[in-house]
């Protein structure tokens, strides 16, 4: 079957790989229809993704169609269209037993730690399939990305009417923004890219936008009658921003690191203590988060139309992929159309 392999940084090949055997008990064979491309894939291509082995078949944001199911599989049937939970958890470790499968100690993410979806068909544990009769294939491929925001906003338990600061409006920031707004928060965006600011202003109901990163606390206080936001989300993945963000949080508030940095992070101990703030990380998402995403899209509460800016078939993708690394290309989400 046709398969796209990232052989080494900067080098994809399109090659034939063996067809899988029929599904065993609890398994489902799915045809890959759409693959969303995200920062992880771009970093893998650039060679800047930490702990990444080559060759690797990328693809963890999947819209699929069930081809065949093994014994004991009852919740999906051939022909069903599904989103995929790409997190292969062990089900036995401490976090798994706590229901935190998103941070399983031995987590394998499809397309990152193990081969993913950039191929014709893929065998999966059927339990990783989330069916929807309503979502389009493109929307199914967006579910995982939106799940990042769903989980992060859930981590902070954002309340209706609460003032939230979102730092960074890349795709992860947009998924946080989506769920902060759904929670009924008023959202201030801190972002320096004019393209992104413009995009967000046109598409989302923002309370305010801060475009200057100097003395952000004073700017926030001016907007909020001398107060600071009670929930701050950093979706930049830049260590500098993540360290600064401590200063933006109200006493008693929480700060959520959604973006990932490879660097050390330090912060002022007394300032952290004085605030009695809660610092949270948010990693991946759980199946319940993704199920929630599907429910919101099905009910029309999430407009997915702004998301997909670029599409390509396998051959075009091989040619276009390097251009998607360039922020100037205006990519929010590129989607690979497999079949
Ligand atoms: Zn992703
Ligand atoms: Zn586990």
Check residue 53 and give its pLDDT.
94
Residues 155 and 192 in one domain: yes
Structure tokens at 104: 């399983």
Q: Ligand 1 centre from 36 Cα, in Å?
A: 7
Structure tokens at 127: 């339990």
Q: Ligand 1 centre from 35 Cα, in Å?
A: 10
- Residues 321 and 217: their CA atoms lie apart, in Å, by 39
Q: Ligand 1 centre from 216 Cα, in Å?
A: 29
Q: What share of the chain is helix, strand, coil (3-state, %, to 5)?
A: 35, 25, 40
- Residues 192 and 174: their CA atoms lie apart, in Å, by 15
Question: Does the model's pTM come out above 0.85?
Answer: yes
Check residue 338 and give its pLDDT.
93
Q: Find the ligand nearest to 40 CA.
A: 1
- Last residue of one domain, picked from the residues 266, 281, 296: 281
Check residue 118 and give its pLDDT.
97
Q: At 143, give phi and psi (nearest 5°).
A: -60, -40
In a domain, 295, yes or no: no
Residues 154 and 269 in one domain: yes
Identify the DSSP state of 78.
Answer: T
Q: Ligand 1 centre from 209 Cα, in Å?
A: 26
What is the CATH number for 314? 3.90.180.10
Q: Ligand 1 centre from 219 Cα, in Å?
A: 32
Q: Ligand 1 centre from 268 Cα, in Å?
A: 32
User: CB–CB of 57/46 below 8 Å?
Assistant: no
Q: Find the ligand nearest to 106 CA.
A: 2
Residues 117 and 167 in one domain: no
Q: Are strands 278-281 and 254-257 parallel, antiparallel or unpaired?
A: parallel
Q: Ligand 2 centre from 178 Cα, in Å?
A: 29
Closest CA to 19 of 3, 34, 7, 4: 3
Q: Ligand 1 centre from 160 Cα, in Å?
A: 28
Q: At 63, give phi and psi (nearest 5°).
A: -110, 115
Residues 153 and 127 in one domain: no
Q: Find the ligand nearest to 105 CA.
A: 2
Q: Ligand 1 centre from 225 Cα, in Å?
A: 38
Long-range contacts of 321-326 (CB under 8 A, 24+ apart): 321/12, 321/37, 321/45, 322/10, 322/45, 324/37, 324/42, 325/42, 325/45, 325/46
Q: Which domain holds residue 66?
A: 2-131+307-337
Q: Which helix (H) or strand (E) holds 220?
A: helix 216-223
In a domain, 137, yes or no: no
User: CB–CB of 252/276 below 8 Å?
Assistant: yes
What is the CATH number for 183? 3.40.50.720
pLDDT tens sequence across 116-141 = 999 999 999 999 999 999 999 999 99
How many structural domains compose the chain?
Answer: 2
Identify the DSSP state of 234.
Answer: E
In a domain, 209, yes or no: yes
Closest CA to 140 of 291, 282, 39: 291
Q: Ligand 1 centre from 144 Cα, in Å?
A: 7
Check residue 49 and give its pLDDT.
85
Q: Find the ligand nearest to 172 CA.
A: 1
Residues 9 and 51 in one domain: yes
Check residue 326 and give its pLDDT.
81
Residues 157 and 58 in one domain: no
In a domain, 220, yes or no: yes
Residues 158 and 253 in one domain: yes
Q: What's the first-to-final CA gap in the chain, in angstroms?
A: 12
Check residue 287 and give its pLDDT.
97
User: CB–CB of 205/181 below 8 Å?
Assistant: yes
* C-alpha separations of 254 from 104, 138, 225, 313 in Å: 24, 34, 20, 42
User: CB–CB of 191/211 below 8 Å?
Assistant: yes
Check residue 155 and give its pLDDT.
98
User: CB–CB of 202/195 below 8 Å?
Assistant: no
Check residue 262 and give its pLDDT.
86
Which residues of the chain fall short of a pLDDT of 70? none
**Other Cβ atoms closer than 10 A to 238:** 16
In a domain, 71, yes or no: yes
Q: Ligand 1 centre from 143 Cα, in Å?
A: 10
Residues 101 and 26 in one domain: yes
Residues 98 and 199 in one domain: no
Helices 137-156, 287-298: crossing angle, 10 deg rounding: 120
In a domain, 293, yes or no: no
Q: Ligand 2 centre from 7 Cα, in Å?
A: 29
Check residue 310 and give its pLDDT.
94
Residues, Cβ < 5 Å to ion ligand 2? 89-90, 93, 96, 104
- Residues 86 and 110: their CA atoms lie apart, in Å, by 5
Check residue 99 and give its pLDDT.
97
User: CB–CB of 70/23 below 8 Å?
Assistant: yes
Q: Find the ligand nearest to 41 CA.
A: 1
Residues 157 and 110 in one domain: no
Residues, Cβ < 5 Å to ion ligand 1? 38
Q: Ligand 2 centre from 124 Cα, in Å?
A: 17
In a domain, 299, yes or no: no
Closest CA to 32 of 72, 69, 81, 75: 81
In a domain, 10, yes or no: yes
Q: Find the ligand nearest to 100 CA.
A: 2
Check residue 267 and give its pLDDT.
96
Q: Find the ligand nearest to 334 CA.
A: 1
Check residue 335 and give its pLDDT.
96
């Amino acid at each position: 079957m046709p398969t796209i392999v990232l052989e080494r940084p900067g080098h994809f090949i399109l090659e034939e790989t063996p067809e899988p055997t029929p599904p065993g008990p609890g398994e489902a064979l799915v045809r890959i229809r759409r693959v969303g491309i995200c920062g992880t894939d771009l970093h893998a291509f650039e060679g800047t993704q930490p702990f990444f082995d080559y060759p690797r078949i990328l693809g963890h944001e999947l819209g699929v169609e069930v081809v065949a199911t093994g014994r004991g599989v009852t919740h999906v049937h051939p022909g069903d269209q599904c989103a995929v939970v790409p997190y292969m958890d062990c089900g036995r470790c401490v976090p798994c037993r706590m229901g935190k499968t998103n941070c399983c100690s031995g987590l394998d993410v499809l397309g990152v730690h193990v081969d993913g979806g950039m191929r014709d068909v893929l065998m999966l544990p059927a339990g990783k399939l989330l069916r929807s009769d309503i979502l389009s294939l493109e929307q199914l491929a967006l579910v995982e990305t939106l799940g990042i925001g769903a989980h992060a906003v859930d981590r902070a338990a954002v309340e209706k009417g609460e003032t939230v600061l979102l730092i960074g409006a890349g795709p992860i920031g947009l998924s946080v923004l989506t769920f902060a707004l759904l929670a009924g928060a008023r959202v201030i965006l801190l972002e320096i890219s004019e393209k992104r600011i413009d995009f967000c202003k046109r598409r989302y109901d923002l309370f305010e936008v801060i475009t200057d990163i100097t003395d952000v606390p004073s700017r926030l206080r001016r907007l909020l009658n001398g107060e600071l936001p009670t929930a701050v989300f950093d979706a930049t993945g830049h260590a500098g921003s993540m360290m600064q963000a401590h200063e933006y949080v109200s006493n008693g508030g929480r700060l959520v690191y959604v973006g990932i940095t490879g660097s050390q992070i330090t912060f002022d101990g007394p300032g952290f203590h004085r605030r009695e703030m809660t610092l949270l990380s948010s990693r991946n998402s759980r199946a319940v988060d993704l199920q929630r995403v599907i429910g919101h899209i099905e009910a029309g509460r999430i407009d997915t139309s702004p998301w997909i800016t670029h599409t390509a078939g396998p051959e075009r993708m091989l040619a276009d992929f390097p251009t998607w690394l360039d922020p100037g290309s205006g990519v929010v989400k590129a989607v690979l159309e497999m079949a």
